[in-house]
A and B are shown apart, each in its own frame.
Chain A
């Protein structure tokens, strides 16, 4: 009985932010008179917020390890600008430019990781410097904009998965298939981890809760799939990119030795080092990875704009950091999940979209988002304090 209570208590927060997301969605659905969940709006919600989700994946790892990265917005502008120049001025095919951009992102990560991990300068300072350095370099390279990018490149963010299975009524069959695979994969992975716990006679969540969780998740996937299948293009390509990254990185963080080392270093660096963890290599790896993901975000952003823009990526670092904190990542390190950060990013995205549909002034949008961040973290801290004292 105790164990069940502990289980629910420990996962309260996860359920809490999912509930918060649903409440916000329903709120705006009512406030916008049902416009929020128009199929085309769902598609563009994903296309507009893909960059936050991609950056938040890397940022979770950075924050869990006890660091912060303020430079990602500038890195997005720098790599995006370079990518546009490679295609327009150097005449490289777009896929070569994409690969080279990822390499450049990794090099940027190596640069920052070197100062942080091996010289021992706090990440706040190194990435603050990086924020200035790479913004400056972006302006030097790009000027203001580099336009005229190839159509193939622009499709990454604006295009959809080709509809080679046709339609059933208005429904895009490819999208339905993708949704079905996602739903089955979700249920299977949940079942697998439950079975593994049960095999060792460990407490699993009550069957009712397990079934309820899966039903709700499958229903949500189903609804989103249905709406997307009705949208103009079907499944946006960026959704697949984000999906693959989320699944891949969740695996890395939860199941691999490297992921464990990230949590170990963030939770207690001394203890991790005395357990044989090479904390410098972990720090270095995290920032190289952040650089690569910033490059992915740069490609997505540049593709969406159809041009390399020197002012691109402004405040992206703050969006990504906010998504992490709303999603339950601890400021002190050691705690945080990618799934949480994704929901945090969606909450920010829905706020953006809902407020835009309602034609709320951009300045007010900022203020409201700030307030939501504050409330989310306050809720987190207060609920923790209550569970400790009670």
Chain B
């Protein structure tokens, strides 16, 4: 239990990359047995700090000292840090999809004698670890058959298979729904009760408030402060945000008075089946409409069918046996391919920008023009003069932070990548913009800017659909919110009546009960 002594100290850590000082004189003190949160905007240096700690950046590539149990340690790689009980679970899940849970847990650490794997021991030990993290799946299940939430738990089971004193979790709940997140937080509490020390990096401040004992705030590569959540001063989300951004955000959402016009898009009786399991209904008779200048929200838990709905409307990019009707300005349209959908003025900015939204190895300029190349080309020839002008305009308008428009998109921070995605779709000049999780994994400052962009789009007469898992975001941004549950629209709430409790009730209400 927490006895007040430091299990871990990082002193004067400075880490430089060519041209950038990622960390400068960072100090971190973690007490034995506590849950210590690290907060900071994207690019503040949290992940870099954890990579220094876990030996991903070996000793000698940074300045400063790391003390474990009071003694200096010099990790030359992950093996070294794990041998001393420091285990990191990275933000990106790293399971091998075709291997079983048990194989994944003991990957690189196989239960074997003389190089021959002992499968019985592997299975039984895996089963024990799975029980510990509260997972009921068989250890033989393939990792690819698990949802993201369960994969995360397997990652934790994998970490527990080693001797762990300090467990580092980098954004463990970023991809999880509320239920899975809650389970994970319970698990962390349980570890704390067993005496384990946890370091957690998260953007979700409500979770930090709920679980952490102390918080260290990092900004621009420096330690700003360490706050004690059980101390005399009351530390709440706003207090942490103030430390992260260096100012207090009076409002997390820009003011906006909507001017709502005629109906632009109406979808009727939209039903979609799962692409492989074609009997399974994923989107169930959805009716929805959005008007010019209006921002509507789509709330729902993971698996409620929001992304599936959006992608199936956008050129049937998801699903099978799709039925229903789509109307644009009152006339029925066909959106069977993406180019048809774009042609009718639809745009869909994906929730997974790295996989589906951007060409990470190309430049800002090439990404921005990607969905509307026809507009910068004549007779099939791209006019680079026009294209450069367009890219420059959006770089300035949306304040994309990059040396030039010729910078490769993969090197930008999440917030700036998201701005490139938005630029790309705004430039295609759609009438309806569907934004799927537009602020996922983005820091507070960039979120505010993106809300501003969304409001400006609505003011320009666009119809905007925002899909988000963060209820405060939907409530702060949208004029009207649909709540989806198990593929159906379970409720519709307008701005005045939208509360988290009300939305959550619709989102979780049992299908049979609400059908009545």
B-binding residues in A (CB < 8 A): 2-3, 5-7, 193, 196-197, 199-203, 255-258, 260-261, 263-264, 267-268, 270-278, 334-335, 387, 390
Q: Other than the known A260-B366, A271-B357, A335-B361, what 12 A-B pairs have Cβ atoms closer than 8 Å?
A: A7-B406, A196-B385, A200-B388, A255-B382, A256-B377, A256-B381, A271-B356, A274-B317, A274-B338, A274-B350, A390-B17, A390-B18
What are 22 A-B contacts with C-beta separation under 8 Å? A2-B19, A7-B406, A193-B384, A196-B385, A200-B388, A202-B404, A203-B404, A256-B377, A256-B381, A257-B377, A260-B369, A260-B373, A263-B359, A267-B362, A271-B356, A271-B359, A273-B317, A274-B314, A274-B338, A275-B371, A276-B338, A387-B18
Q: Which residues of chain B are within 8 angstroms of A257 by Cβ–Cβ distance?
A: 373-374, 377, 380-382
Q: Which residues of chain B are within 8 angstroms of A193 by Cβ–Cβ distance?
A: 384
Given contacts A2-B403, A3-B403, A6-B407, contact A334 B361 (CB under 8 A): yes
A-binding residues in B (CB < 8 A): 17-19, 314-315, 317, 337-339, 341-342, 348, 350, 355-362, 366, 369-371, 373-374, 377, 380-382, 384-385, 388-389, 392, 403-407, 424
Q: Which residues of chain A are within 8 angstroms of B369 by Cβ–Cβ distance?
A: 260
- Is B362's CB under 8 angstroms from A263's CB? yes
**Chain A residue nearest in CB terms to B355:** A270
Given contacts A255-B381, A257-B377, A276-B342, contact A264 B359 (CB under 8 A): yes
Most chain A CB within 10 A, of B317, B359, B385, B403, is at B359
Q: Which residues of chain B are within 8 angstroms of A264 by Cβ–Cβ distance?
A: 359, 362, 366, 370
- Is A334's CB under 8 angstroms from B342's CB? no
Tell me if B's interface is mostly helix, strand, loop or mixed.
mixed
Given contacts A2-B19, A274-B348, contact A334 B359 (CB under 8 A): yes
- Is A199's CB under 8 angstroms from B385's CB? yes
Q: Which residues of chain B are within 8 angstroms of A255 by Cβ–Cβ distance?
A: 381-382, 384
- Smallest beta-carbon distance B356→chain A, Å: 5
Q: Which residues of chain A are within 8 angstroms of B405 by Cβ–Cβ distance?
A: 202
Bound complex: CA of A387 vs CA of B315, how far in Å?
A: 40
- Is B366's CB under 8 angstroms from A263's CB? yes
- Smallest beta-carbon distance A17→chain B, Å: 19
Bound complex: CA of A274 vs CA of B406, how far in Å?
A: 23
- Is B382's CB under 8 angstroms from A275's CB? no
**Chain A residue nearest in CB terms to B388:** A200
Q: Which residues of chain B are within 8 angstroms of A271 by Cβ–Cβ distance?
A: 355-359, 370
Q: Which residues of chain B are within 8 angstroms of A260 by Cβ–Cβ distance?
A: 366, 369-370, 373, 382
Given contacts A197-B388, A273-B338, A274-B338, contact A267 B382 (CB under 8 A): no
The 9 A-B residue pairs whose C-beta atoms are closest, nearest first, are A267-B359, A275-B371, A276-B339, A268-B359, A276-B342, A276-B338, A275-B370, A3-B403, A270-B356
- Smallest beta-carbon distance A337→chain B, Å: 13
Bound complex: CA of A2 vs CA of B406, how far in Å?
A: 13
Bound complex: CA of A387 vs CA of B405, how far in Å?
A: 20
- Is B404's CB under 8 angstroms from A276's CB? no
Q: Which residues of chain B are within 8 angstroms of A199 by Cβ–Cβ distance?
A: 385
**Chain A residue nearest in CB terms to B403:** A3
- Smallest beta-carbon distance B390→chain A, Å: 10
Most chain B CB within 10 A, of A256, A272, A274, is at A274
Bound complex: CA of A270 vs CA of B337, how far in Å?
A: 14
- Is B338's CB under 8 angstroms from A275's CB? yes
- Is A5's CB under 8 angstroms from B19's CB? yes
- Smallest beta-carbon distance B376→chain A, Å: 9
